[in-house]
Amino acid sequence: MPNKLKRQGRIKELLSTYSISNQDDLLRLLKKEGFAITQATMSRDFAELGVVRAFVQGNVCYMLDPDESGNQIAKLIGFEILSIQHNETMVVVRTLAGRAQGVAHFIDRLNKEEIMGTIGGDDTLLVIPNKKENVPVIIDFIKKLMTENPGRKVK
């Protein structure tokens, strides 16, 4: 029975609580909590969650890579965006209530040179192009975000 979601949620918590240095350690922790999975699944979880091996205070330890987490968020973006409008000089994106900041943040992080910046309110955000000729480019870009499924890198 797939409890992938619950399990991965717990993994994120555990990783941010303890200092885990190999998959088996975490595996034991999870088993103790009733998640009966194998190392193979764990490995895939790491890949999906964007867990990376990093040096922290001398020794290696697994942690969430913020950039990878960004990739995961990409899957949500399309869900949060309701519509895109624009005029001559800027693009306005409407989102579900309370999500505009998150979407704006995501777009910021993509570092598109055509995008000078974003401003997010509650359910609306403004995307400001570096020059007005780029408005269409930006629209295409955001629309692509909405439909592409950047998920699963696991293979």
Pairing of strands 59-64, 91-95: unpaired
8 Å CB contact between 26 and 20: yes
Of 16 and 39, which CB lies nearer to a second copy in the complex structure? 16
Q: Which of 9, 13, 33, 60 binds DNA (CB under 7 A)?
A: 60
How far is 68 from 74, CA to CA, in rounded Å?
A: 10
Binding site for a second copy (CB under 8 A): 5-6, 9-10, 12-13, 16-17, 64, 66, 69-70, 72-73, 76, 78-84, 94, 96-99, 101-102, 104-106, 109, 122, 146-147, 149
Q: Which of 13, 24, 67, 148 binds DNA (CB under 7 A)?
A: 24
8 Å CB contact between 100 and 125: yes
Of 23 and 102, which CB lies nearer to a second copy in the complex structure? 102
Residue-wise over 53-76: b if at least 16 C-beta within 10 A, else e? Answer: eeeeeeeebbbbeeebeeebbbee
Q: Does 58 bind DNA (CB under 7 A)?
A: no
Q: Name, in order, each residue with C-beta under 8 angstroms of 155's C-beta and a sequence gap of 6 or more.
A: 47
Of 2 and 58, which CB lies nearer to DNA in the complex structure? 2
Instruction: Quote the least distance from Cβ 24 to a second copy, whole Å.
Output: 22
How far is 132 from 147, CA to CA, in rounded Å?
A: 24
Return residues touching DNA (CB under 7 A): 1-4, 7, 22-24, 36-41, 43-44, 46-47, 53, 60, 154-155
